[in-house]
A and B are shown apart, each in its own frame.
Chain A
Amino acid sequence: GAGVSQSPSNKVTEKGKDVELRCDPISGHTALYWYRQRLGQGLEFLIYFQGNSAPDKSGLPSDRFSAERTGESVSTLTIQRTQQEDSAVYLCASSLGSVRGETQYFGPGTRLLVL
């Protein structure tokens, strides 16, 4: 079946502009996660959605970052007033959301470059 998809695959923007990144999880997956990965670095947790529960926003680095999820489907990560340090690959992942400790399936990521 179809995996996690993300769009755009690449995004170049100017400092100060807003950007929106989209994630389509695997159908039926109620849990959705966003991570940031700077060049050569690890996976930095940003935000986690689980069904209709309030999202876990503990990883968002500043109030310029926000995310929404429509029901149990598409999610959008928005970065306002982008800064050069926001340049990174933004990875989305999804999981079934049924048990504690389960496999997360990653999308291909959106490579963001802020000039």
Chain B
Amino acid sequence: GENVEQHPSTLSVQEGDSAVIKCTYSDSASNYFPWYKQELGKRPQLIIDIRSNVGEKKDQRIAVTLNKTAKHFSLHITETQPEDSAVYFCAAPAASGGYNKLIFGAGTRLAVHP
């Protein structure tokens, strides 16, 4: 069946360090991989996404890498700041059940300590 696995479930770093969150997916036909950030009590918001025709995408301190052969993608945050503390969710398109449906990972709780 389709699945998106996300690791680690929690991540604690010191301010200024880098943070990496990894996700694996099962459907080889998946073509779109978004990352959402959810701050405490707020809605999930898209922070970066990547399509399957590229291997890496950067936006200031955040980047996403995609390995289609291994079916995994990762979120990289450099020079972390306390405001990066949040829960991060990865997602990939569902193989069935709906053309636009996304399957979400279980989330990673990132804590950045000053």
Contact = CB atoms under 8 A, between A and B. Distances in A.
B44 A102 contact: no
Contact of B32 (A31, A45, A102): A102
A31 B100 contact: yes
B107 to A, nearest CB: 5
Interface residues of A, number: 24
B43 A108 contact: yes
Interface residues of chain A: helix, strand, loop or mixed (majority) = loop
Interface stretch (A11-19, A68-76, A77-85, A93-101): A93-101
Interface in A18-49: 31, 33, 41-43, 45, 48
B28 to A, nearest CB: 13
Contacts, number: 63
B32 A91 contact: no
A103 B46 contact: yes
A90 to B, nearest CB: 12
Given A42-B89, A91-B43, A107-B43, A100 B49 contact: no
A65 interface: no
A100 B32 contact: yes
A59 to B, nearest CB: 9
Contacts of A95: 100
B97 A58 contact: yes
Interface of A: 31, 33, 41-43, 45, 48, 50, 56, 58, 91, 95, 97, 99-109
